[in-house]
Amino acid sequence: MVPVNVYHPMVHLPPLPALTSVKLEIRSGTLSLRLVDILSCIRSVPALSSVAFKYPKMSGVEAIHASSQWIDVDKSLARLAMEVKSERSLVVVLTPWLEGNLSWEKYLPEFRRAGGELRVGHGI
């Protein structure tokens, strides 16, 4: 028996061929679940160059570990990185405090293998 997360998005986004930048401000809930829920809805984005996350610092962040949710975040980001048709790779922008607390590079291996980059920004 293999635990699998099945996502049933209430929002169905169309292909977004001109989209270059996505900014997500997540105000509540489990970060990994929220990320993968939204990322799984975004598809057909050949021009995408950056995905930025913002999350409230004081509300506490789940410990990042090799949970199935984080594996799905990794897979979703890897899928988006592979969809990119431009020469520049997809960049995920993290807020500095988030990057400092979490070992993102360790837990997003597929995204890195797909050519994705992690950077620290100053929010959105």
Residues in contact with other proteins by the rule CB under 8 A: 1-29, 33-34, 36-38, 41, 47, 68, 124
29 vs 113 by CB, closer to other proteins: 29
Other CB atoms within a 10 A radius of the CB of residue 114 amount to: 20
23 vs 57 by CB, closer to other proteins: 23
φ/ψ (deg, to 5) at 104 = -60, -40
Other CB atoms within a 10 A radius of the CB of residue 102 amount to: 18
Q: Give the shortest CB-123-to-other proteins separation in angstroms.
A: 12
68 vs 103 by CB, closer to other proteins: 68
Please say whether the beta carbons of 124 and 52 come within 8 A. yes
Half-sphere exposure of 46 (CA within 13 A, CB side): 3
Q: Give the shortest CB-26-to-other proteins separation in angstroms.
A: 5
Q: Give the shortest CB-121-to-other proteins separation in angstroms.
A: 14
Q: Give the shortest CB-49-to-other proteins separation in angstroms.
A: 10
Kindly state the tokens that stand for 117: 């980059």
13 vs 120 by CB, closer to other proteins: 13
